[in-house]
Amino acid sequence: MPLKIRAAFLLLLPSLALLLALFLVPIGWFLWSSIAELGSWAEIMEEAEAVLLSGAVGGALLNTGWVGLVVTVLTLVIGYPVSYALSRARGAAFTAILLCIVLPYFTSTIVRTYAWMVLLGRNGLINQILLGLGLVSEPVNLLYNRTGVIIGMTYVLLPYMVLTLYAAMKAVDPRLMQAAEGMGASPATVFRRVFMPLTLHGVVAGVLITFILAIGFFITPALMGGPGDIMVAMLIEREVELTQNWPAAAMMTVVLLAVTLSLYAVYSRFAEPGEAVR
Amino acid sequence: MTEGSVALEGVTKRYGTETVVAGVSLAIAPGEFFTLLGPSGSGKTTTLSMLAGFVMADEGRVMLGGQDMTHVPPRGRGLGMVFQNYAIFPHLNVAENVAFPLTVKRAPKAEIAARVAEALEMVKLTGFETRYARQLSGGQQQRVALARAIVAHPRIVLMDEPLGALDKNLRYHMQVEIKEISRRLGMTVIYVTHDQEEALTMSDRIAIMERGRIAQMGPPREVYENPDSSFVAAFLGEANLLPARRDGQAVAGPGGARFQAGAGALASAEGLLFIRPEKVTISAAAAGEGANTLPGQVRHTSFLGNVVRYAVEVPEGAVVLCDAANGAGAVLHAPGDPVRLNWRAEDCRLLAA
Amino acid sequence: MTDLIRLNRRLLLGTALAAPALISRPARAAGEVIVRTPGGTYDDVMRRHVYEPFTRETGIVVRPVAATASKLIAMFRANNVELDLIDTGDGQLLTLERMGALAPIAYDKWKWSKAEDIIPEVRNERRVANFVYCTVLAYNKDHFAGGAPNSWAEFWDAGKFPGPRMLADMASGSPNLEFALLADGVPKDRIYPIDVDRALKSLDRIRPQIRRFWDTGAMSAQMLSDKEVVAGSIWNGRLQVLIDRGAPLAYTWNEHMIQVQALGVFKDAQNAQGAQLLIDYMLQPEVQAKYSKDLIYGPTNNRAFPLLTEEERARAPGSPTSRQTGFFQNSVWWEDNRDRVNRTWSRWVQR
């Protein structure tokens, strides 16, 4: 039953207030005070040009977008079957799959990332197995390069994809699939003609949410990436912490925020299942 | 012609230690409108699911059109189906929904178009082709489900509580239409419902299910008027069931009253005397005595319009319901009035308790 | 939590920290000095050798807290200085000093330490070093059993000394431009002002051998101990911990870069007096000798060195002997050029 707009607004009020106090006001204050520090409009434009058109930001944006894209596609490819299994599992199997996905999140990103470093290093477990089996003669570089970043980020972001897809899949009425089967459809046809179209909005939502999170990533690429794997968030962090050039940080933040918000605008169009199903 | 015939032979289904369907056997002739009726949990939906192939029987055989289909998956059975809650695909429009059984068989486009148009016309939904389920009323969604079930011209159509979600008026209307279409297409229909009125209206034969078994099977009037058990008697419409026992060729009832009962209806020595309320006639106490009569006192009078229902207390505290037609010159008995109840021997039976 | 949230939190810390604090300025115990420290085991060592003895002596309690550079700046900007003493890298202190955030060090009021005992290079008007550490050339002894690189020129010579290696990234504070120049033949006393282009050209030559530019001390230690790299630049304290644990690692004192950790007092500190007193206490020879020994860092009080054993002196950065083969990092040059180097570096490293 649809809530009256006013009632909905009242229920949302506490979280809106929290968001305003803890996010919008500080970030607004940060952006405004940092950029205002520069003085005149002309100076601001000049600095913006210097910051945003310097090769560093452009390169990092390209890196960020590309890594985000690859990671998103990978989480989708891995996450879709996992979510499907999860949406079909009952009882102990359900708990087991869910725990496998969520349990690592009880530790911090840093711990998880270090665990990957132990596995993926030149003398790590995976290389030792590969060398031991004679599959490779030299250790494979899985860490401190693009591969490392992608493995690490895919792992960290997988649950967001899985849980988003799971929600969409769980919402699919199993009777629809049974009905399709009863009407003569093979399991493959049921999947292609019924299940997939009905979970498409979940795919879109999962892809956007994963991509949005991926482009703001900071720790994993910092720890697992190679020299060239610089993401926009890392550049922002450096401007804030290292060079204390807050205006530059603010400008990059604006760019990242703009990209994120535009994607979010797309996301919110698909987030409403009724609409997404056309 | 066995093409539309359906048979279950000793079909059993267990879930764990619980036997949901216990050795059900039935045979349905082509073109027959057959209803599985029973309370929830009686096994009627599981029986239908075994016919459809969604549930595999643990024992017994499922025969469709004379062929053993016990282990054939649903898509190999060639049945038309109408599901509870319709199961209309929300991402497809009306035409695409109705076309679904044909498109999965990769029928030629022209044939699909023609069949869809025909099916939609039959359910009176021409012009609704491009609508989506959420733009349709409950009745219209029901028609889409019906069109989809018949579009491929199946010989056998299964319907699982198809009218359960509709309001009373619409339901009556759809009952007539479904019956009409099934007759026109000559399909065998197996219809599941828990609504006894619906079952009586539509069916050629009814199987009443109770705890995984068929309690009784037969044409509506037969099962209604000659129930084999108190369960069937009580489940199908209103029934008076008075404590009674067999006494020679007669039946001893409340207050030592003796009754004659219908032929072959004295199977049980100890049991319940069954009589439908509308078969009981009520008259003022002064009226003369006769066979199969009981004195009593009116407890409640319910005026239902065309019928007046009396609850009459008879000796030993039992209550007998009596429906009197509100015909020309009918007299109403008020609560407290002494009355006399009568019925014909052939209208009452002694049933096992 | 996600990285995104983490990042936002970092940004917020730098900025919004002011918001709640403005509303309720936390009540402060009168006899308390709040000091910003690097945290971790550092706090344990300092508590044992400095903070607790100081409290016993003066009754003033010392409370160490963590704060990033941006947080310190935000505090100052928001006019809400929550701590008194800052114990951090000299470069960061210089940033704060240039913003006008620091009070002069009260050398004239010292009673435990003597100003003239402090190494002059690290004794400034508003900043005074509490220890020095250094970045050395370290290598894996097993890998280089037949002879190890002993200078940055040799480190650059991948033909003679093959194997994956590492150098510091911009994110560690400053990339090893100094070593790149040394490898390119620039003499130690001519490093500053750094010719950034020349340094990067020199780095171009070794870059294919660089497995990774490290950004944190932990990362550099892990890469060496996991044999991800067989040679690299690393902070001596981090390295010594690995060596003491038995890792087959060694290093050369040749061409090491001495870096400075320093103390400064916030101009608007609530307990500036206590902070000055703590500096005085911390820098006296006996106290310095104890904590630098445990931290494997070098004292800045010349009179602390004689209190160390021969062996301890040998591995202490900034000692009169080791100082001869190293050089002080010029934190003023870095402060002046960090912004420019950061952008140039970011571009170079992504190529």
Among C212, C222, C343, the residue with its CB nearest the CB of A54 is: C343
Across the range A147-168, mean pLDDT stands at: 92
C239 with C274, same domain: the answer is: no
Across the range A249-278, mean pLDDT stands at: 75
Across the range B223-246, mean pLDDT stands at: 89
C265 with C253, same domain: the answer is: no
C344 with C301, same domain: the answer is: no
Residue position matching structure tokens 């996450």: A79
Q: Is residue C189 part of a domain?
A: yes
Identify the three-state secondary structure at position B173: helix
Contacts by A172-177, CB closer than 8 A, 24 or more apart = A172/A87, A172/A198, A172/A199, A173/B87, A175/B83, A175/B84, A175/B85, A175/B87, A176/B87, A176/B89
The answer to whether B341 touches B281, Cβ cutoff 8 Å, is yes
**By CA distance, what is C172's nearest residue in A?**
A242
Q: Are strands B213-218 and B205-210 parallel, antiparallel or unpaired?
A: antiparallel
Q: Is residue C187 part of a domain?
A: yes
pLDDT above 80 for A58: yes
Phi, psi (degrees; rounded to nearest 5) at B292? 45, 60
CA distances from C162 to A10, A256, B79, C159, C210 (A): 67, 41, 74, 6, 11
C and B touch with 3+ CB pairs <8 Å, answer: no
pLDDT at B265: 55
The answer to whether B272 touches B230, Cβ cutoff 8 Å, is yes
pLDDT at B326: 87
Ordered DSSP codes for A121-166? STTSHHHHHHHHTTS-SS----SSSHHHHHHHHHHHHHHHHHHHHH
Query: Is C9 within 8 Å of chain A by CB?
Result: no
All structural domains of chain A with their residue ranges: 42-276
A and C touch with 3+ CB pairs <8 Å, answer: yes
Q: Is residue C66 part of a domain?
A: yes
Among A54, A114, A240, the residue with its CB nearest the CB of C11 is: A240
Give residue A3's pLDDT band: very low, low, confident or very high (50, 70, 90). Answer: low
State both tokens at A212: 């949005």
State both tokens at C296: 């494997």
CB contact under 8 A, A274 and B134: yes
pLDDT at A271: 58
The answer to whether C194 touches C124, Cβ cutoff 8 Å, is no
Q: Which of B272, B264, B256, B277 is nearest to B322 (CA)?
A: B277
Identify the three-state secondary structure at position A229: coil
Q: Give the gap in angstroms from C-alpha A197 to the nearest C-alpha of chain B.
A: 7
Show the low-confidence residues of chain C (pLDDT under 50).
1-26
Give residue B266's pLDDT band: very low, low, confident or very high (50, 70, 90). Answer: low
Query: Is C215 within 8 Å of chain A by CB?
Result: yes
pLDDT above 90 for A77: yes
State both tokens at C340: 């420019």
Residue position matching structure tokens 């409370």: C63
pLDDT at A43: 86
pLDDT at C11: 41
Q: Tell me how far apart the alpha carbons of residues B103 and B94 are, in angstroms, rounded to a whole number.
A: 14
C218 with C337, same domain: the answer is: yes
pLDDT tens digits, B272-287: 888 999 999 888 876 5
Q: Tell me how far apart the alpha carbons of residues C16 and A65 are, in angstroms, rounded to a whole number.
A: 29
CA distances from A148 to A67, A151, A166, C17, C212 (A): 11, 5, 27, 34, 12
pLDDT at B168: 84
CB within 8 Å of chain A, chain C residues 85-104: 95
Residue position matching structure tokens 């002011």: C18
C127 with C68, same domain: the answer is: yes
Read off the amino acid at residue B271. Answer: G
Residue position matching structure tokens 């505090």: C75
More confident residue, C107 or A237: C107
Across the range A245-250, mean pLDDT stands at: 87
Across the range A73-101, mean pLDDT stands at: 92
Q: Is residue C49 part of a domain?
A: yes
Q: Which of B97, B154, B89, B84 is nearest to B128 (CA)?
A: B97
C213 with C340, same domain: the answer is: yes
pLDDT above 90 for B327: no
CA distances from C116 to A44, C265, C275 (A): 47, 20, 20
Helices (runs of H) and strands (runs of E) counted in chain B: 8, 20
C142 with C190, same domain: the answer is: yes
Number of domains present in the structure of chain C: 2
Task: Write down the mean pLDDT value for chain B.
Answer: 89
pLDDT at C191: 96
Q: Is residue C326 part of a domain?
A: no
Give residue A265's pLDDT band: very low, low, confident or very high (50, 70, 90). Answer: confident
Query: Is A90 within 8 Å of chain B by CB?
Result: no
pLDDT above 50 for B44: yes
- Count interface pairs A-B at CB distance under 8 A: 62
Interface test with A, best of B89, B92, B96 (most A CBs within 10 A): B89
C47 with C104, same domain: the answer is: yes
The answer to whether C266 touches C79, Cβ cutoff 8 Å, is no
CB within 8 Å of chain A, chain B residues 136-165: 148, 152
Across the range B152-164, mean pLDDT stands at: 92
C209 with C119, same domain: the answer is: no
State both tokens at B316: 């030993």
Query: Is B64 within 8 Å of chain A by CB?
Result: no
Q: Tell me how far apart the alpha carbons of residues A244 and C94 are, in angstroms, rounded to a whole number.
A: 12
State both tokens at C34: 């709040």
Q: Which of C202, C150, C207 is nearest to C178 (CA)?
A: C202
In sequence order, the β-bridge partners of residue C208 are none
pLDDT tens digits, B1-22: 478 899 999 999 999 899 999 9
Identify the three-state secondary structure at position B185: helix
CA distances from C75 to C7, C147, C310 (A): 19, 51, 43
A and B touch with 3+ CB pairs <8 Å, answer: yes
pTM, to two decimals:
0.78
pLDDT above 70 for A1: no
Phi, psi (degrees; rounded to nearest 5) at C140? -90, 120
C116 with C143, same domain: the answer is: no
pLDDT at B258: 75
The answer to whether B132 touches B70, Cβ cutoff 8 Å, is no
CB contact under 8 A, A180 and B89: yes
Give residue A244's pLDDT band: very low, low, confident or very high (50, 70, 90). Answer: confident
Across the range B31-45, mean pLDDT stands at: 93
C265 with C123, same domain: the answer is: yes
Q: Tell me how far apart the alpha carbons of residues B38 and B40 are, in angstroms, rounded to a whole number.
A: 6
Q: Which CATH superfamily groups domain A42-276?
A: MetI-like (1.10.3720.10)
Q: Tell me how far apart the alpha carbons of residues A179 and A177 are, in angstroms, rounded to a whole number.
A: 5
C89 with C192, same domain: the answer is: no
pLDDT above 60 for B28: yes
CATH number of domain containing C82? 3.40.190.10
State both tokens at B109: 């486009």
Q: Is residue C253 part of a domain?
A: yes
DSSP B132: B
pLDDT tens digits, B74-107: 999 989 999 988 899 999 999 999 999 999 989 9
| C-alpha torsion angle, residues B320, B326, B331, B334 (rounded to 10) | 50
Q: Which domains does chain B have, with CATH numbers?
A: 6-225 (3.40.50.300), 243-352 (2.40.50.140)
State both tokens at B229: 């058990």
Q: Which of C299, C318, C260, C259 is nearest to C135 (CA)?
A: C259
Among A26, A63, A124, the residue with its CB nearest the CB of C350 is: A63
Q: Tell me how far apart the alpha carbons of residues C308 and B274 are, in angstroms, rounded to a whole number.
A: 112
Q: Is residue C324 part of a domain?
A: no
Spacing of C-alpha C88 from chain mean position: 7
Across the range B40-58, mean pLDDT stands at: 93
Rg (CA), chain C: 21
pLDDT at C20: 40
Chain C residues with beta carbon closer than 8 angstroms to that of A65: none
pLDDT tens digits, A175-212: 899 999 999 999 999 999 999 999 998 999 899 999 99
Instruction: For residue B95, give every residue at least 6 positions away whose Cβ sits within 8 Å of its Cβ, in sequence order, or none.
Output: B116, B120, B129, B130
Q: 3-state secondary structure string, chain C?
A: CCHHHHHHHHHHHHHCCHHHHHHCCCCCCCCEEEEECCCCHHHHHHHHHHHHHHHHHHCCEEEEECCCHHHHHHHHHCCCCCCCEEEEEHHHHHHHHHCCCEECCCHHHCCCCCHHHECHHHECCCCEEEEEEEEEEEEECCCCCCCCCCCHHHHCCCCCCCCCEEEECHHHCCCCHHHHHHHCCCCHHHCCCCCHHHHHHHHHHHHHHEEEEECCHHHHHHHHHCCCCCEEEEEHHHHHHHHHCCCCEEEEEEEEEEEEEEEEEECCCCCHHHHHHHHHHHCCHHHHHHHHHHHCCECCEHHHHHHCCHHHHHCCCCCCCHHHHEEECCHHHHHHHHHHHHHHHHHHHHC
Identify the three-state secondary structure at position B323: strand
Q: Give the domain range for residue C73.
A: 3-132+260-318
